[in-house]
Amino acid sequence: MTAPLLSAERLASLPEAVRPARPRVAGPPGIVHIGLGAFHRAHQAVYTEDAMLAAGDDRWQILGVSPRSSDVVRTLRDQDCYYTVLWRDGTGSTPRVIGSLADAAHLPSEPERVLDAIAAPGTAVVSMTVTEQGYRIEPGTRRLRVDDELRADAAGRVPRTVLGLLVRGLQRRQAAGAGPVALACCDNLPDSGALLRGLVHQFCELLPSAQARPVLEFLEHVGFPSAVVDRIVPATTGEDLAEAAGAIGLADHAAVLAEPFGQWVLTDDFPAGRPPWERAGVRFTADVEPYEQAKLRVLNGTHSALAYLGGLAGYRTIAESVADPALGAFARRLIEEDVLPTLRRPGGVDLAGYADTVLRRFGNPALRHQTAQVAADGSQKIPVRLLGVIRERLAAGQVPRHALLAVAAWLRYTVVAESDTGAAVAVRDRFDAELRAAAGPNLLEHLPEVLAVVDPELAEDTGFRSALRERLSTLTTSGALGAVT
């Protein structure tokens, strides 16, 4: 017999420790969030729920917008937007039903509703988790890569791109006289506030000039906080959904699983107000850079390294990769020898302790985080996670062998697309065709052209190229496990 579906009405049947501790209130959302993936549901939505609870402040319910998939919207609405987070710490799972996501909207079929919500006076924050590739950044320049989709949005069709939606929303907000707002990018991107501000400006350059001028003026009043977000949230599987249903006694098709660890650091640039997130453990600081570099380079850089090297070695999950003694030792050397020397210490944080925590978190077998998931979109991730480390170490006269091997593994994984046993690996990357075309029949011979796709400046550096070529040849002849030992 299938369990009845989770819904507002059925919350009462849940144990007190599982159901939301605050009732949802009627009223407009305070936050419009773009990107309804598992990460948002297990991270910002939970912090927002906790902040409202701690401060008794109900204004911050979220309208979640799905830029593409209609399934997630239908699924959430069918269960009144309640869903379970299964906290998995390696010893067991603890369910908690979250209620801060008050409603969901599907951008392609409900654009007016979404634009009106961005323009509504009650909306103070428009936040987003659309993954690195959702911003359409050109890896080599870190600027908007202008394509037909962006041009079509700028020419006035119903927006389909994130940038198009944001700018249309701001235009409507300005016309409605609804006042300032904050646009908060919560993806793994450095200097995310300034980056998003830049991208919005670059999109405005595509608008007819009579339209561009007023938006540019309005942008003076828009906040662009920078964010560092952290929580490992793997894609949900059918087994996870079955476990969630078992845990709460109700079917839940929108459940997500996550590790209990979480971090959120923000600059306080919210001109129209914001949830009292500090009451939920969010750290506000004027200088996010040290947190950001530690997170992106230690956690994400090592994550990517384990995804590519582990994937080439035939491991399906990050936990399996890091449990391999050779790969585990490699991950530690990458952090200690190559990454940590490039970091400034974020206030009071012990970086060696942070590295230990990260490696322990990767080892959590209950997460079953797929190497293929972390390997996706490397062309957007590698420049942010590893190339900065390499550039800085080379400038300091050091050869960052481990970081170079991780980049070599990314290239082999993405361009050659074969594991060490010759099995095909499934590559998901917006730029994979471009990288393969640049490599032609021989990656080693065409390294400069391939590297130019992601970092034209580093591609010119002959020292970098020859060190990378050496790592790539070792990887090709010895395989991932041979190359790390």
Site of interaction with ligand CS2 (CB under 6 A):
188, 230-232, 300, 303, 373-374, 381
**Toward ligand CS2, which CB reaches closer, 374 or 481?**
374
The single-letter DSSP state of residue 132 is G
Nearest-angstrom CA–CA distance, 94 and 210: 54
- Please give the DSSP secondary-structure letter assigned to residue 413: I
Q: How many CA atoms lie within 13 A of 455 on its CB side?
A: 22
The tokens for 379 are 């062309």
In the bound state with ligand CS2, the residue whose beta carbon lies nearer, of 173 and 381, is 381
In the complex with ligand CS2, the residue whose CB is nearer, 125 or 374, is 374
Q: Which residue number, 231 or 402, has a Cβ lying nearer to ligand CS2?
A: 231
Nearer Cβ to ligand CS2 (33/43): 43
**What is the distance of C-alpha 316 from the center of its chain?**
20
395/389 Cα distance (integer angstroms): 10
Backbone angle region of 341, left / alpha / beta, with phi > 0 → left and psi within -120 to 50 → alpha: alpha
Closest distance of CB 435 from ligand CS2, Å: 18
Cβ atoms of 256 and 288 within 8 Å: the answer is no
User: C-beta of 403: minimal distance to ligand CS2 in Å?
Assistant: 15
- In the complex with ligand CS2, the residue whose CB is nearer, 106 or 303, is 303
The residue (of 109 and 237) whose beta carbon lies closer to ligand CS2 is 237
Nearer to ligand CS2, 65 or 367 (CB): 367
Listing DSSP states for 362-403 in one string gives: HT-GGG--BHHHHHTTHHHHHIIIIIHHHHHHHHTT---HHH
CB of 426 to ligand CS2, least distance (A): 15
Specify whether the CB–CB gap between 321 and 313 falls below 8 A: yes
Task: Tell me how far, at minimum, the Cβ of 373 lies from ligand CS2, in Å.
Answer: 6
Give the residue with the Cβ less far from ligand CS2, 72 or 245: 72
| Sheet bearing 227-230, strands edge to edge | 227-230, 263-266, 283-284
Closest CA to 309 of 415, 428, 424, 405: 405
In DSSP notation, 317-371 reads BHHHHHHSHHHHHHHHHIIIIIIGGGPPPPTT--HHHHHHHHHHHHT-GGG--BH
CB atoms within 10 A of CB 474: 16
Cβ 478 to ligand CS2 shortest distance, Å: 26
- Tell the smallest beta-carbon distance from residue 256 to ligand CS2 (Å): 13
Q: Cα–Cα distance between 354 and 299 in angstroms, integer?
A: 9
- Tell the smallest beta-carbon distance from residue 261 to ligand CS2 (Å): 9
Least separation, in Å, of the C-beta of 114 and ligand CS2?
25
Query: Least distance (Å) from ligand CS2 to the CB of residue 439?
Result: 23
Query: Cβ closer to ligand CS2: 253 or 303?
Result: 303
Phi, psi of 323 (to 5 degrees): -80, -20
Q: How far is the CB of 257 from ligand CS2 (least distance, A)?
A: 12
- Pick between residue 161 and residue 188 the one whose CB is nearest to ligand CS2: 188
Give the DSSP H or E segment for 260. none
Cβ 64 to ligand CS2, closest distance in Å?
19
Residue 249 CA to residue 259 CA, distance in Å, equals 22
Residue 101 phi, psi dihedral angles, 5° rounding: -80, 100
